[in-house]
Structure 1
Amino acid sequence: MFFDPAVLSVLDALFGGRIDGENLRRVARTLIDLDVLLGEPDGRKLVLSLVPNEKRTELEARVGRTITASPASEWTESQVRRLRDFFGLVEERILPPAVPPTETITPIYGLFDHQRNAVCRLAPLLDEDERRAVLHLPTGVGKTRTAMHVVADALRAHEPSVVVWLASGKELLEQAVVAFKEAWMHLGTRPLQIGTMWGDRMPDLDRFSDGFLAVGLAKGWAVISRTDPDWAVRLSQRVRLVVFDEAHQSIARTYRQVTEELTLDFRCALLGLTATPGRTWADIDEDGELAEFFAGNKVTLEVPGKNPIEYLIENGYLARPSFRTLLSRPGLAFSEREISRIAGGLDIPEEIVAALSMSEQYVAAVLDAIDELLGVGHNRVLVFAASVDHARILSAILVARDVRSNVVTGLTPVRAREHAIRTFRSDDEVPMVLVNFGVLTTGFDAPKASAVIIARPTRSLVLFSQMVGRAIRGPKAGGTETCEVVTVIDPSLPGFGDVAAAFLNWEDVWQ
């Protein structure tokens, strides 16, 4: 009754003769759509004729009518729906999606307005004349993502070609490789090589002809000075763009040589990335040398209003920071010679910092600040310690006080460091404190950190800005609306204690 004779003939043949009842029932489950049959008068009449007498009464009560008195065609929509329910069929109404006449598509690897504007203004500077420029954006505003669009543009424009990304520190280099992989998946046009050259990693550079090469500055110089003095010169024939992350380091003698050799080809452009386009806060000659190295070309924020930082905070790109000074009185007396060294140097000598930080009063003041931040609801507190010993003792005391804490220094094994950072970045609601010395000022992204303690005295505005930047990502960048910065740094120094002032500190040398 349910099968076309032609279908039955095919089934009989495939089952080696007349198909038996058990196999016929199995086939029927796939070939017969009961939902369709119940919706059609003839099919419904056929199905109802097979309902056993003992089930008819139950069916009629469920449907609300007799199933034999009227023709099958006189069923209402409601009765058919109840009939389907009786047979255990779930009615699904799939409506075609409404297609509006106009809709918006959001790119997976897109840019904000101010980032797109920066990319557009960089293009002519990197294509003409000296082909050098610095991209100056505050930490947390997406320098790396913005730069990856420039990288992708260069690789699409030159085929085959190599883009070299220079940075110091494993974290910055790993961050760049991950960012490039994500960017090229959405912006790329062809398969590419990805090379990693830092630590014990050493790709075959003579075979590296088309792709993205991440080079550690220390590794690049070590290879030049020890094993292969011409590697950068040979590679330069294929390099069309060099990106120098944390560009304020680029005029150091050894790093400058690596950069100059990689950009020997007149077709190669040099892009510097920085949140602090100077090396000091007071030495205009040294900062001027950096500006000259990049041909005086700096692309920075162009946003409505006079204060770009305030615009970014008001629009959720940056967290609104509040600064306060850690009040501690270590009682440490400095000699006139030590005071002279502090006043004349770019930063405070390490032995003076170490002596200061390990005093009982100083350690107690930092611990009190941590307790206070946790007490007001900060779930992630990042502490920049003044030395390895300082970091270890702070973390040890926190653990003894049942505060979840890890310590990361340059001596921490790689696996332990990665575990500590991964835990700090996690969604775990338990409050955590990550104490570090010398390794997390750059290349470390922890948007959930809403408080920073800078327990490391410094006169370096560059270092200070990098430390503050670890907790300044706003909601649109996956961070927080506000952040708290507790510091032992003298807020009377130019730019210290004010993100906007730090951002604008070097404007005069780039004019």
Structure 2
Amino acid sequence: MRFEDLLARADSGLADLMPPGATKLVTAIDPQLAYPKNLLRVLLRLRPPAVLLEAPETRAQLLMLLPVNEARVLASRLGSTSSTDTYAYLARMQFRRTAERAILFDFFGVGLPEEEERSLPPALVEISPTFGLFPHQARALRHVERLLDSEPHRALLHMPTGSGKTRTAMNVVVNHLRCRERGVVVWLAHSEELCEQAAEEFSKAWRALGTRPVPLVRYWGAYEADLRTVEDGIVVAGLKKSVSRLRTDDHQFRAVSARNPLVVMDEAHQAIAPTYQTIINQLLRPLTDARLLGLSATPGRTWNDPEADRQLSEFFASRKVTLSIEGFDNPVAYLIDRGYLAQPTFTRIETAASVSLNEEEQRRVQDTFELPNSVLERLAADEQRTLLVVHHAEQLLKRHQRVILFAASVQQSDLLAAVLSARSHWAASITSESPSGRAESIAEFKEDSQEAKILCNYGVLTTGFDAPRTSAALIARPTLSLVLYSQMVGRAMRGPAAGGNENCEILTVVDPRLPGFDSVVNAFTNWEDVWRNINV
């Protein structure tokens, strides 16, 4: 029996197969989508046939929709005898065995999901010996190296998003290895995307500038390596894996610390988090030649907590290398003027969403200076707010070919992509809970086509995501963090000199009683009072 024919029998029961609360939101956004034919399209986008058949609760509902004769055929294929109550038999089936699942999926003409086999490159590869720098990057490189060569061998490189922090820092790494017969670099990053980005960037840099074969060691996620054997080259390490390993076996990091490594901390505003600071301190033995370089576009922990920002500054010896361009009050303005960054237009979208924080949520805001997930989820469930987001997303798609949307929750990201797709737009949702098609959706978004596309996401594309054609961002996730806001805006600000766009458009949804930001130009100087700048 065709799966679509089975769903057609559900009619008004389609709402029961939708995720909780989704039908109500879909109806509020577009009443036409409530009709069974349209609702079926939204359902299949949110929950494809394989998902509906895999989940016990939706599978049970579907099996009860089968006509008697079709139910008997399926039951017979599964081993039922003629005397068995057909529907009761199907209800008892757990479909845990592969053979039973194959019969079920084949009966409805649905492909049986295959477990994705991850093909990982080797954890250890030999990189054998073009990788130029813009003038402002080369000046920053020289000043960073001067500070790292002098006590206390610490510095932070402060460059705006899109200005080439990673490339500049990788030249520091290459020069560190070139000046030594043997040297070890440890590059720390908090996400797998940032780790892979660093590994790829080092490969390009060393092939162009290296003087000998050196190992590149991947040390995050599923990658394993014995760090005690590393005497030369670079270790790109995920912070999550490093924290876990340090708690159970500190011998590996002790061995690396004996090499007097250069430690590079990506997204350095996180460096003073207690667990991360423990790792860095373990790698940097006192009174040695070990060095620490931090990288950040936003060298502060918060928006308005000077004490936390002061702690971060002191951790890097209050030495920050920042860009200072003659004739420009702000390096961001220079980078826009020279085409490294796109010229942004910032627009605030005021909403009528009413949200109040309970005592526990207020306490968490004071402790973390970030909105709790419970607040974000309440905003994401607001029908009028979601309708406003859909409206502005569709308007952006009329003006831009590539749009990125930052949703307030995983569920909202999925729902927005499903609704926009049902309304004939190319849309995909990327979250930490995305299925195996995540990489394919990102690749399709990056393809060189004229079709307007929107990528909805929650929590995974703020860093380590590079799609230069993206020229618009819709920020529907409220945040009190200038760091996070700057990272979201940066996804759309790649300029023509760096393969991006001359102009970009940033729409920010601002909710009552929750402060919002509307520019990152001034944000670059937000933390200047707690640092001693080395202008370049």
User: After TM superposition, is the score higher than 0.5?
Assistant: yes
Matched residue, 2:150? 128
In the alignment, the residues of structure 1 paired with residue 531 and residue 358 of structure 2 have an alpha-carbon distance, to the nearest angstrom, of: 38
* Higher mean C-alpha displacement, 255-264 vs 172-181: 255-264
- The structure 2 residue matched to 1:352, chosen from 362, 371, 375, is 375
TM superposition score normalised by structure 1: 0.76
In the alignment, the residues of structure 1 paired with residue 363 and residue 279 of structure 2 have an alpha-carbon distance, to the nearest angstrom, of: 35
Structure 2 residue 494 is matched with structure 1 residue 478:
no
Q: Is the 8 A contact 1:391 1:437 kept in 2?
A: yes
Name the CA shift for 1:118/1:428 in 2 (closer, same or farther; >3 Å): same
Structure 2 residue 215 is matched with structure 1 residue 189:
no
Matched residue, 2:468? 447
Aligned length: 401
Structure 2 residue 347 is matched with structure 1 residue 324:
yes
Structure 2 residue 313 is matched with structure 1 residue 313:
no
Q: Deviations over 1:399-448 (max 9, x none)?
A: 111111111111124x4221122111221221111111111111111111
Q: Counterpart of 1:190 in structure 2: which amino acid?
A: R
Name the CA shift for 1:344/1:152 in 2 (closer, same or farther; >3 Å): closer
Matched residue, 1:293? 315
The alpha carbon displacement at 1:306 in A equals: 1.8
Name the CA shift for 1:489/1:119 in 2 (closer, same or farther; >3 Å): farther
Q: Deviations over 1:448-495 (max 9, x none)?
A: 110001110110111101101111111111111111111124799999
Q: Deviations over 1:42-67 (max 9, x none)?
A: xxxxxxxxxxxxxxxxxxxxxxxxxx
In angstroms, what is the RMSD of aligned CA positions? 1.9
The alpha carbon displacement at 1:302 in A equals: 2.2
Name the CA shift for 1:491/1:193 in 2 (closer, same or farther; >3 Å): farther
In the alignment, the residues of structure 2 paired with residue 420 and residue 163 of structure 1 have an alpha-carbon distance, to the nearest angstrom, of: 34
Matched residue, 1:209? 231
Matched residue, 2:404? 382
In the alignment, the residues of structure 1 paired with residue 132 and residue 139 of structure 2 have an alpha-carbon distance, to the nearest angstrom, of: 12
In the alignment, the residues of structure 1 paired with residue 381 and residue 313 of structure 2 have an alpha-carbon distance, to the nearest angstrom, of: 39
In the alignment, the residues of structure 1 paired with residue 235 and residue 515 of structure 2 have an alpha-carbon distance, to the nearest angstrom, of: 38
- The structure 1 residue matched to 2:528, chosen from 502, 507, 511, is 507
In the alignment, the residues of structure 2 paired with residue 340 and residue 144 of structure 1 have an alpha-carbon distance, to the nearest angstrom, of: 36
Q: Secondary structure at the match of 2:237?
A: strand
- The structure 1 residue matched to 2:133, chosen from 84, 91, 111, is 111
Q: Is the 8 A contact 2:406 2:456 kept in 1?
A: yes
Q: Is the 8 A contact 2:184 2:233 kept in 1?
A: yes
Q: Is the 8 A contact 1:494 1:501 kept in 2?
A: no
Work out which of the two has the higher radius of gyration on C-alpha atoms and give 1 or 2.
1
Q: Is the 8 A contact 2:354 2:512 kept in 1?
A: no
In the alignment, the residues of structure 2 paired with residue 309 and residue 361 of structure 1 have an alpha-carbon distance, to the nearest angstrom, of: 35
Q: Secondary structure at the match of 1:488?
A: strand
* Higher mean C-alpha displacement, 319-328 vs 484-493: 484-493
Q: Is the 8 A contact 2:364 2:370 kept in 1?
A: no
Structure 2 residue 425 is matched with structure 1 residue 409:
no
Q: Secondary structure at the match of 2:505?
A: strand
Matched residue, 1:456? 477
The alpha carbon displacement at 1:327 in A equals: 2.8
Structure 1, unaligned stretches of length 5 or more? 1-107
- The structure 2 residue matched to 1:253, chosen from 271, 274, 286, is 274
In the alignment, the residues of structure 2 paired with residue 249 and residue 349 of structure 1 have an alpha-carbon distance, to the nearest angstrom, of: 18
Q: Is the 8 A contact 1:330 1:362 kept in 2?
A: yes
In the alignment, the residues of structure 1 paired with residue 403 and residue 260 of structure 2 have an alpha-carbon distance, to the nearest angstrom, of: 41
The alpha carbon displacement at 1:343 in A equals: 6.7
In the alignment, the residues of structure 1 paired with residue 271 and residue 486 of structure 2 have an alpha-carbon distance, to the nearest angstrom, of: 18
Structure 2 residue 368 is matched with structure 1 residue 372:
no
- The structure 1 residue matched to 2:221, chosen from 199, 213, 218, is 199
In the alignment, the residues of structure 2 paired with residue 233 and residue 334 of structure 1 have an alpha-carbon distance, to the nearest angstrom, of: 45
TM superposition score normalised by structure 2: 0.72
In the alignment, the residues of structure 2 paired with residue 351 and residue 165 of structure 1 have an alpha-carbon distance, to the nearest angstrom, of: 34
